A and B are shown apart, each in its own frame.
Chain A
Amino acid sequence: MTPLAGYLLLSALLFAIGLGGALARRNAIIVLIGIELMLNAANLNFIAFWRYGPNPEALTGILFVLFSIGIAAAEAAVGLAIIIAVYRHYRTTNLDRITSLKG
């Protein structure tokens, strides 16, 4: 197994763990954590392809990851704010009990 394939497999496994958690757990914050794990798996792919790809001096992978980290930070801030607003209304973060949009 080449190092690139190893990192790609690690990234696929991380993505699957995040997806499984986001689909199977009840708590909204855990779902958000799963989404963060999936974003990080994509970042790992970018860096692995930059390191072992044919054109590393272009720095495209690194810059893409930097922008992606910025967007993920914005997403985390807005997502947690929405969770706090929903909690204030329903007094729960259990996604199965948050059933109506116009509560």
Chain B
Amino acid sequence: MSAGFYVIAILIVGSAVAAMSLRNLVHCALSLAVTFAGLALAYLQLQAQFVGFAQVLVYVGAVAILIVFAILLTRGGDSEKEAILSPGWVWGLGIAALVFVVAGGAVVSSKLLPTVQRATPAATVKQIGDQLMTQYILPLEVIGLLLTAALIGAVIIAMRETEGGQ
């Protein structure tokens, strides 16, 4: 394991814990942006440059901003002194810890993981584009349709209802 991996892992885990545990929602959103940036670094470390930059564009650029907008639009109504955890939070955290123990135990004890070190694979943008336009053309079109439908649906759901119907 390289030192870079540990730095990235600490960054990701620390900011993810902060995003889940801070009281101020805007701080949560900013910690989430740091988590997404850390994941982009991990993708770059894993030689997946295109995915890393897509992560920066989509998550750090779009999703984090969207969440900040949603937080600012839904302010007020909740008092500051209210508890941030739901009544059954012990169960929630217990289930999460159990999931981590099971998944981590499976990874550590697994004998199926490849141990042979391979040469660094190359994934150029040209190769990815070739694949997207030939073998994966149908999923690409379906994703395009799904995104269009989702964006139109999001606008209609969030549209302000007027008096007497929509």
Contact = CB atoms under 8 A, between A and B. Distances in A.
A contacts with B: majority SS: helix
Ranked nearest first, the 5 interchain pairs of A and B with the lowest CB-CB distance are A23-B92, A21-B20, A20-B96, A56-B121, A16-B100
16 contacts: A6-B9, A12-B104, A13-B100, A20-B20, A21-B19, A23-B96, A26-B84, A29-B67, A29-B70, A37-B16, A37-B35, A51-B121, A63-B132, A76-B66, A80-B67, A85-B158
Using C-beta atoms within 8 Å of the partner chain, give the interface range for chain B: 35 or more
Interface residues of A, number: 76
Given A20-B96, A56-B118, 13 more contacts: A8-B113, A12-B107, A16-B96, A21-B19, A23-B96, A25-B84, A29-B71, A59-B128, A62-B48, A81-B157, A84-B157, A91-B76, A94-B78
Nearest to A86: B74
B9 to A, nearest CB: 5
Contacts of B67: 29, 32-33, 76, 80
Nearest to A84: B158
B164 to A, nearest CB: 17
A6 B78 contact: no
Contact of B74 (A4, A70, A73, A84): A84
A17 B82 contact: no
Given A20-B97, A33-B32, A37-B35, A57 B54 contact: no
Nearest to B107: A8
A71 B70 contact: no
B132 A84 contact: no
A51 B121 CA distance: 7
A20 to B, nearest CB: 3
A76 B10 CA distance: 26
A1 interface: yes
Given A23-B93, A27-B25, A54-B114, A63 B85 contact: no
